[in-house]
Amino acid sequence: MRVATWNVNSIRARVGRVTDWLVREEIDVLAMQEIKCRESQFPFEPFTAAGYDVELHGLNQWNGVAFASRLPMEDLTVGFEGVPGFGKPDENGALPTEARALGVTVDGVRLSSLYVPNGRELDNPHYDYKLAWLKQLAADTRAWMAEHPTTPLALMGDWNIAPLDTDVWDLAAFEGSTHVSVPERAAFAEFEQLGLSDVVRPLVPTGYTYWDYKQLRFPRNEGMRIDFIMGSPAFQSLVQDARIDRNERKGDAPSDHVPVVVDLVLEPEDDDDRPMIFG
């Protein structure tokens, strides 16, 4: 099973590019982030024509997560337990929750599409929201793994964190900024302490997944590695190959992120019709 994650930065602007890539690269399941639309606005037809079903969680022109799969998707979950909100409180004082997390099960593998809050600046309330969001996601993941210890699990998406110094083109350029701060990296490390690991890095040790549109960042290769597939031990054991599809940052109207892809080898189902061998 070939699984991928991609922050598409507006699916309506890039639907042709995404569906062409899905077919060309024979992707079975794609987790998307920043679809930037509600369900009524999502361009389902090109995905259907390409042989993919879509599940999504989108509330407005911001954020939004989705899955496109040519295999059956089961056990759909929106958000996670205790997900924090952000923004203007409603009349009851509750903060609105954003469309940032979606989970499905495909062929016995549990997958989550995640768009972690950006954080904006270190003194911005959005930064505190980011840390709270990650803390609650870690708590929910810990509980889920305890309940399903043998089920392969992958948290996939745009984490908006560069966990290593080498995951940014110039660490000095990020001094005093988000994405590389100690609390953010500690929040990322908490998932590693749960037993999750970046299943791509052992196979693709270098390379970025994001380049800003400004200041010729892509031609200069001034990027960041912030899109990850974090897999449980059961998921890690299935990974056969991985890649970062850097070429998708080229050409007309690309997203500022590129796909991250892993190939899984699933255990074959028992075949009750296999011939019996007599001793």
Q: Is residue 48 part of a domain?
A: yes
- CA-to-CA dists, residue 160 to 15, 117, 141, 163, 187, angstroms: 23, 7, 18, 10, 11
The annotated binding site for Mg(2+) is made up of 7, 34, 158, 160, 256-257
pTM of the model: 0.95
Alpha carbon distance 247, 25 (integer Å): 12
| Residues known to be catalytic | 115, 158, 257
Q: pLDDT value at position 277?
A: 42
Q: Identify the sign of the CA torsion 72, 238, 206, 160.
A: positive
Q: Is residue 270 part of a domain?
A: no
* Contact by Cβ (8 Å): 236, 199: yes
Q: Is residue 273 part of a domain?
A: no
Q: pLDDT value at position 278?
A: 37
- Which residues are CB-contacts of 73 (< 8 A; sequence separation ≥ 6)? 29, 53, 55, 67, 104, 105, 106
Alpha carbon distance 115, 132 (integer Å): 14
Q: Order across the sheet with 260-264: list the strands.
A: 53-57, 65-69, 29-33, 2-7, 260-264, 239-244
Q: Is residue 272 part of a domain?
A: no
Where residue 216 falls (left for φ over 0; alpha for ψ -120 to 50; beta otherwise) is left
Q: Is residue 279 part of a domain?
A: no
User: CATH number, domain at 70?
Assistant: 3.60.10.10
Q: Is residue 150 part of a domain?
A: yes
**Number of domains composing the chain:** 1
Q: pLDDT value at position 276?
A: 44
Q: Is residue 278 part of a domain?
A: no
The annotated binding site is made up of 7, 34, 158, 160, 256-257
Q: pLDDT value at position 268?
A: 66
pLDDT in tens, the chain (279 residues): 999 999 999 999 999 999 999 999 999 999 999 999 999 999 999 999 999 999 999 999 899 999 999 999 999 999 999 999 999 998 888 999 999 999 999 999 999 999 999 999 999 999 999 999 999 999 999 999 999 999 999 999 999 999 999 999 999 999 999 999 999 999 999 999 999 999 999 999 999 999 999 999 999 999 999 999 999 999 999 999 999 999 999 999 999 999 999 999 997 655 444 444 434
What one-character-per-residue DSSP string does 130-174 give?
HHHHHHHHHHHHHHHHHHSTTS-EEEEEE-----SGGGBS-GGGG
Q: pLDDT value at position 93?
A: 86
Alpha carbon distance 183, 178 (integer Å): 10
Query: Where in the sequence is the domain holding 131, given as residue range(s)?
Result: 2-264
Q: Is residue 180 part of a domain?
A: yes
